[in-house]
Amino acid sequence: MQNIRAAAVQFQHVNGDKRANLATMQAFIEQASRQGVQMLVFPECCVTGYWFLRNASPEQLAELSEPVPDGPTTQWLCEQADRRGMLIGAGLIERDSEGRLYNSYIVALPGGAWHCHRKLHCFVSAHMHSGDRYTVFDTPWDCRVGVLICYDNNLVENARATALLGAEVLLAPHQTGGCRSGSPEAMGPIDVELWENRDRNPQPLADEFRGDKGRGWLLRWLPARAHDNGMFLIFSNGVGRDDDEVRTGNAMILDPYGRILRESQQIGDDMVVADLIGSLRERSTGARWMRARRPDLYKILAQKQGSEVSAREARFS
């Protein structure tokens, strides 16, 4: 792969206000263009807002949704990507031809090409469906790119499958940190008052963002996805109050050794930029280990164990 300048964005979306969110994204696109960015990654569901969707009615979700690629947001992303010569990824609610709804991520490329990843483990609403396929594609930079949305990245099989399909860069858009986790020792909620009082007293919020509810939790598993599969990883996330929770930002870019190339230190909207040096992949640990795989031993990975549940059940149980 060629060397690529990449950027990961964290920003606080406005629930249900596409116009406001697209305006924020436009400003980041212009900033990224000035810095020579070639891959720009926005968060999951950043166009619509996220956590409030769990309480939305089917009618409200349908109103927020759009077809792909004929919807206005996909068309706008494609126009922006073509004009800037940039890959741009952003999350929204997709409505298919039969009216089914998906938590989807659109990746627009220069020249009008686009790709759509449907979240494989959608849990935010019982009225939304999960995707059923991986998303890996070629780009103009002699590089294959894969997409996994938030919870998709938590399951190690998804990252490995994406790598086996040839992904050299993984786009990992999220809305995470500060969650009411089913594993409270792994993560936990952040007091929304810390966010509301951040201008007067920023340090307590910064401590939470950098602690076990934000950065600490991410670093227990996110570098492993990059390292074990020999992929660059671009982690984009929401930041700030997301309905009754607080997202922690922590936007970061990792190399195929799981090392952090750049990460945000901000407790608000931010963009981090790093150069992905393609030659790092050639001898990366994960890339070498993958060549020593024994697929004949792995049949158990595709066998049901009887304890499987949906992502929604796993998330809220």
Domains of the chain: 4-316 (3.60.110.10)
User: Helices 18-34 and 72-84 sit at what angle, rounded to 10 degrees?
Assistant: 10
Tell whether pTM > 0.85.
yes
Confidence of residue 165 (pLDDT cuts 50, 70, 90): very high
**HEC sequence for 139-162:** ECCCEEEEECCCHHHHCHHHHHHH
Q: 135: number of CA atoms within 13 Å, CB side?
A: 23
Is residue 4 pLDDT above 90, yes or no? yes
Report pLDDT digits (tens) over 119-164. Answer: 999 999 999 999 999 999 999 999 999 999 999 999 999 999 999 9
Q: H/E element holding 172? A: strand 169-173
What would the pLDDT profile of 41-55 be if each residue is shown by its tens digit? 999 999 999 999 999
On the question of pLDDT at 316 being above 70, the answer is no
At 204-216, the pLDDT tens digits run: 999 999 999 999 9
Return the pLDDT at 174.
98
pLDDT tens per residue across span 83-106: 999 999 999 999 999 999 999 999
Closest CA to 259 of 293, 213, 222, 209: 222
The mean per-residue pLDDT over the stretch 222-251 comes to: 98
Mean pLDDT, residues 239-262 taken together: 98
* Mean per-residue pLDDT of the chain: 96
Query: How many residues belong to the chain?
Result: 317
